[in-house]
Structure 1
């Protein structure tokens, strides 16, 4: 069956690949929006070190895509490390925490050239140091790694109609609020006050 949801597939494949070195008992992992707002960034960085993965875009080639959609799928990995021994250790690391530079290198080595079966191969683009405007923790260091993959997906053989598991994720969920509190077919306001 062709890949019907490359976005979920690449996200889980990247996390699984990173977990070879960035162990779950030490590193927090989140899928986040891009761009990441200041408020969301602050809410995520409650535990470090942190890996945050975001989907950026999928751009088709200029010549068109044909019967199956293809294009450059872009993701961004944000790495946040912090060291309780002070700012001088946040880049190189020590026994109390990983350094930003070895973390960037490790992630790039794990992901560059990594092939996700039936989807494509990930390539590392820009690796850059970043900062969060107004973030008060001076013992933290932040980097971003841009990832790209030429991915092709789609349904040319009628597989979409037979993909019950995939289709159920699109429409077999229980919308909130609880139907016992409000009738299911009544409109409800999803905005938060």
Structure 2
């Protein structure tokens, strides 16, 4: 799907968050990718094998009361997964490479909180917790989640969405398989 960039709030925020995290979590050492908010045990097993790992999940949106603007905050969650093979305490304090969950959580909070992106919004860390993955049993893994918001504003007053033609003006296209019996043009215009 493609949408007018001015209105694709989640799609604009995600790469900005990852770019900001890369300042302190280099790609050579730390995996970072989008993950679902509620991961299955299969999904969690996959990311745990790539620890140290940061999983970015979009949680939801809280909007303000201005009818002329779509504004508010997007709620995001960052999963921090750390592995250490040199004892239980190393999961938190760090192993031979110095990577422990305590430092990962501290650094993530400091890198994210209060950062302002021109024309995109401001990030505010709202909380963090140590967590466990139900059904996952590996004493060498430590996990935390960090919640944060990313403010946004998008003007919707000029859109006047009344007809399929108005919707088409948004620039949204859906990549549908021809075998579904629906072409992207049919989906947009309702024809």
What is the TM-score when the length of structure 1 is the normalising length? 0.79
Cα distance in 1 between the residues matched to 2:78 and 2:155? 26
* Per-residue deviation, residues 133-155 of structure 1 (Å, max 9, x unmatched): 22121101001110013321234
Match of 1:37 in 2: 40
The 5-angstrom pairing of residues 44-55 of structure 1 reads: 44-55=47-58
RMSD: 2.6
* Per-residue deviation, residues 103-161 of structure 1 (Å, max 9, x unmatched): 00101100000112212110001111111022121101001110013321234456xx9
Q: Is the CA contact 1:112–1:122 (under 8 Å) kept in the aligned structure 2?
A: yes
Q: Is the CA contact 2:57–2:78 (under 8 Å) kept in the aligned structure 1?
A: yes
Unaligned stretches of 5+ in structure 2? 160-164, 183-191
The 5-angstrom pairing of residues 1-193 of structure 1 reads: 3-61=6-64, 64-96=65-97, 98-156=99-157, 167=171, 170-171=172-173, 173=175, 175-176=176-177, 183=179, 185=181
Alignment length, in residue pairs?
Answer: 172
Q: Is the CA contact 1:3–1:119 (under 8 Å) kept in the aligned structure 2?
A: no
Match of 1:189 in 2: none
SS in 1 for 2:106: helix
What is the TM-score when the length of structure 2 is the normalising length? 0.80
SS in 1 for 2:7: coil
Unaligned stretches of 5+ in structure 1? 187-193
